[in-house]
Amino acid sequence: MPPADPAALREFASRLVAWQRREGRHDLPWQNTRDPYRIWLSEIMLQQTQVSTVIPYYARFLEAFPTLADLAAAPLERVLELWSGLGYYARARHLHACAVAVCAQYGGHFPPSPELIAQLPGIGRSTAAAIGAFAFDCRAAILDGNVKRVLTRCFGIAGFPGSPRVEKGLWALAEALLPEAPDMVAYTQGIMDLGAGLCARSKPACVLCPLQEHCVARREGRQEELPEGKPGKAVPERQVSACIFHDGERILLERRPPSGIWGGLLTLPEAGTEESAPAQAQRLGLDLLAAAPLPPLRHTFTHFRLILSPWLCRVGPERMLREGSWEWLPWSRVGEAALPAPIKKLLLGLEGAQAAPSASSGN
């Protein structure tokens, strides 16, 4: 799936690195250090948490625990107190366990390999790569929300980025894009800076982007469609058929109850899928002259999808049928009637055809 052109892949990193050194962030509290402890602490706090939220917590942590050994020696309760308000409290427990583990297993020094780092508590593949890159120049790829957004847009990758299939492809692409070791810090910081700044979720600043000439989403105008959202749960579907009973001049409609779906509006007489048009016509005491099926109409509500199969039914000139909730609406008044939008649209599309009833398009 990824464009296998090696030159294009290299171009991605070199442009990003140059841009980061020129325009990226360089003064965040956890930058300008190679201390794995400080880098690790920031990466854990930044999991699912925005930069502005983290900054004050990060400062307080370093004040309370200047070194990894201080953190490992502290009681967990103290760590939790300082974490209070940051959320995802398992991170704090894992943080403490990780400090203890690094002291016990590695003499207080993080191992300089993402594979080993990822074995530690609270550290997954992406966080391990970030620590490895920032602290040791390791050539390892991160894949967080920012990176997913940049990659799906730049390479036009469809599908929900959280799905295993798409995510697998994104990891492979992220690794194929990595620059050589000396550029790993600027590259890793750059792809996050780009995602957090220019390549924002809405209204990305494409004109300022160092990758604009390579970006598939920009070229195709699909910035707002990528990355694709999480597919909603399968909405329940309801199938109904509805007859457009008309005598050439007027349509038979039903006034719905004041509350509930389409409360108080006029709609087509509905039936289940079982009841045929003739049966329904007979039930309503209509003289059915002709019936033709129309293409099904889909309409989505908050909690379900309605699939409406309309029948266009010509009926004989009928007596009033005024009783109850029935009303005859002239075709000419469809536009201004109190009809649900999809029904009105359907009827307006048919109105022209009524002027020339013989115009039976072949379809």
Nearest CA-CA partner of 328 in 262, 260, 252: 252
CA angle 146, 140, 188 (to 5 degrees): 40
Q: How far is the CB of 196 from DNA (least distance, A)?
A: 4
Distances (CA, A) of 296 to 235, 239, 311: 17, 10, 9
Q: Which is nearer to DNA, 90 or 356 (CB)?
A: 90
Considering only residues 303-322, where is the footprint of DNA by CB under 7 A?
Answer: none
Q: Which is nearer to DNA, 48 or 332 (CB)?
A: 48
Q: How far is the CB of 320 from DNA (least distance, A)?
A: 45
Q: How far is the CB of 291 from DNA (least distance, A)?
A: 39
Q: Which is nearer to DNA, 30 or 331 (CB)?
A: 30
Nearest CA-CA partner of 296 in 239, 225, 223: 239
34: burial class by Cβ within 10 Å (0-12, 13-18, 19+)? exposed
Q: Which stretch binds DNA (CB under 7 A): 1-9, 117-125, 172-180, 283-291?
A: 117-125
Residue 46 within binding range of DNA, rule CB under 7 A: yes
Give the number of other CB atoms < 10 A from CB of residue 147: 24
With H, G, I as helix, E, B as strand and everything else as coil, classify residue 358.
coil
Considering only residues 251-270, where is the footprint of DNA by CB under 7 A?
Answer: none
Tokens of 9: 């892949």
Considering only 4, 7, 50, 355, the residue that binds DNA (CB under 7 A) is 50
Q: Which of 43, 77, 254, 323 is catalytic?
A: 43
Q: Which is nearer to DNA, 156 or 161 (CB)?
A: 161
Residue 121 within binding range of DNA, rule CB under 7 A: yes
Considering only 2, 11, 23, 53, the residue that binds DNA (CB under 7 A) is 53
Considering only 16, 128, 211, 339, the residue that binds DNA (CB under 7 A) is 128
Nearest CA-CA partner of 72 in 39, 107, 21, 31: 107
Q: How far is the CB of 204 from DNA (least distance, A)?
A: 11
Residue 145 within binding range of DNA, rule CB under 7 A: yes
22: burial class by Cβ within 10 Å (0-12, 13-18, 19+)? exposed
Q: How far is the CB of 138 from DNA (least distance, A)?
A: 14
- The answer to whether the CB of 230 falls within 8 A of the CB of 162 is yes
Contact letters for DNA, residues 188-207 (x by CB under 7 A): -x--xx-xx----xxx----
Alpha helix positions (H), the chain: 6-23, 36-45, 51-64, 68-73, 76-83, 90-106, 114-117, 125-136, 145-154, 164-176, 184-196, 216-220, 277-283, 341-355
Considering only 12, 30, 110, 245, the residue that binds DNA (CB under 7 A) is 30
CA dist 192 and 205 (Å) reads: 15
Number of residues counted as binding DNA (CB under 7 A) = 46
Residue 132 within binding range of DNA, rule CB under 7 A: no
244: burial class by Cβ within 10 Å (0-12, 13-18, 19+)? buried
Q: Which stretch binds DNA (CB under 7 A): 122-130, 275-283, 288-296, 343-351?
A: 122-130
CA dist 199 and 191 (Å) reads: 10
Give the number of other CB atoms < 10 A from CB of residue 188: 26
43 is catalytic: yes
* Binding site residues, DNA, CB under 7 A: 25, 28, 30, 42-43, 46-53, 85-90, 94, 121-128, 144-146, 148-149, 163-164, 189, 192-193, 195-196, 201-203, 229-230, 232
Which residues are part of the catalytic machinery?
A: 43
